[in-house]
């Protein structure tokens, strides 16, 4: 008899991601093998050129594990599937230090991951700042720690346990902020530097992960922050989404997750269009021409403006839709306005039919 359906589902999701990682690793190793070292770049065309040594044949995949049901289910699936494939599997748990005894819980997670025969396994303590609010600050600290761990261990990928329910919450949070289509696209299945972060469970619901832990007798830790109404996501999870399902019927989570994928496809297409358009709206000196910007569809034009602001030094995380709307008015509603101040000490101004975006 095969595994429980919930266990089979999480293993299949992880298996697919591991196959992707292996395929990418093999291609990268092959490319490295064929690429000549710069030291030999000037060798004659008829001479044998030396190549860089191949990367180690077995890629390392880490799981980010908090000890909660989603990440414990993910860790168990990774441990099971990695043994059947040419993949090394390890685990990282991040101690945010926000609760009493958090170091003890991190040590427990390390023990559980070690019992699964994951290697390497480590706990990383971080200092959580205050910028952007407690949730954003904790997220920034966590990803910084995971990035550092991935670099330190040479990991090909880091698996995250975000589920379809998390995706639905992310879409609603973006909608509530009045964000654009990129925010409504939620979390990508692969993100970060070179697609480092992988989210195998985006098509699975939270209950499937919890059920997989139950039938495998995996102990899980329920973070009290997840039910604390002081946190926006917690209120949305326990009050907002249930209210929507009561009003609209079941299937809201699935519909929101589907909206995320459709929005991502549209946003990707518009980003590609904007990248191509950026080259056509500049003069010979590389300056943005207002008349050519005006001729672009608004969704494309605003993407060009956002790219230009970021290239000038405006941080992406602090650059909001209202900022870009103000810059856009320099194109569509020009009445002699003064320069627009943007995050990162960047300013945008209109001069002689050109849009100038630069550090102030």
Rounded mean pLDDT, 143-170: 96
Tens of pLDDT, residue by residue over 204-239, are: 999 999 999 999 999 998 887 788 888 888 899 999
pLDDT score recorded for residue 196? 96
pLDDT score recorded for residue 49? 39
Query: Does 45 score more than 50 pLDDT?
Result: no
84-88, 100-104, 142-146: which has the minimum mean pLDDT?
100-104
| Model pTM score | 0.82
Tens of pLDDT, residue by residue over 304-316, are: 999 999 999 998 8
Half-sphere exposure of 201 (CA within 13 A, CB side): 32
Is residue 127 classed exposed, middle or buried when 0-12, 13-18 and 19+ CB atoms within 10 A define those classes? exposed
Quick one: tokens of 112?
């559980």
3-class secondary-structure state, position 158: strand
Distance CA 284, CA 278 (A): 13
Query: Does 74 score more than 60 pLDDT?
Result: yes
């Amino acid at each position: 008899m095969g595994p429980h359906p919930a266990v089979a589902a999480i293993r299949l999701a992880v298996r697919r991601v591991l196959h992707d990682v292996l395929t990418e690793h093999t291609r990268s190793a092959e490319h490295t093998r064929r690429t000549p070292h710069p030291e030999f770049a000037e060798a004659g065309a008829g001479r044998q050129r030396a190549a860089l040594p191949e990367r180690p044949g077995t890629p390392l995949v880490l799981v980010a594990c908090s000890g909660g049901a989603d990440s414990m289910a993910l860790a168990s699936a990774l441990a099971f599937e990695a043994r059947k494939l040419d993949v090394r599997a390890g685990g990282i748990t991040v101690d945010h230090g926000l609760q009493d005894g958090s170091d003890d819980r991190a040590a427990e997670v390390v023990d559980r991951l070690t019992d699964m025969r994951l290697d390497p396994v480590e706990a990383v303590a971080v200092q959580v700042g205050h910028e952007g609010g407690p949730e954003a600050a904790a997220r920034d600290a966590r990803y910084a720690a995971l990035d550092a761990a991935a670099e330190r261990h040479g990991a090909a990928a880091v698996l995250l346990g975000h589920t379809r329910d998390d995706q639905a919450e992310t879409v609603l949070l973006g909608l509530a902020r009045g964000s654009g289509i990129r925010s409504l696209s939620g979390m990508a299945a692969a993100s970060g530097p070179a697609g480092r972060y992988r989210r195998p469970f985006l098509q699975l619901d939270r209950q499937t992960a919890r059920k997989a832990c139950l039938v495998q007798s995996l102990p899980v830790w329920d973070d009290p922050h997840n039910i604390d109404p002081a946190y926006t996501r917690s209120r949305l999870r326990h009050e907002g989404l249930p209210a929507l399902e009561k009003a609209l019927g079941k299937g809201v989570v699935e519909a929101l997750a589907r909206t995320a994928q459709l929005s991502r496809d549209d946003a990707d297409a518009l980003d590609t269009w904007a990248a191509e358009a950026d080259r056509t709206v500049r003069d010979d000196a590389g300056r943005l021409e207002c008349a050519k910007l005006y001729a672009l569809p608004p969704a494309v034009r605003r993407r060009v403006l956002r790219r230009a602001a970021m290239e000038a030094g405006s941080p992406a995380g602090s650059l909001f839709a209202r900022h870009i709307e103000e810059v856009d008015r320099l194109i569509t509603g020009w009445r002699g306005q003064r320069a627009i101040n943007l995050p990162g000490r960047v300013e945008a101004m209109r001069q002689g039919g050109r849009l100038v975006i630069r550090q102030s």
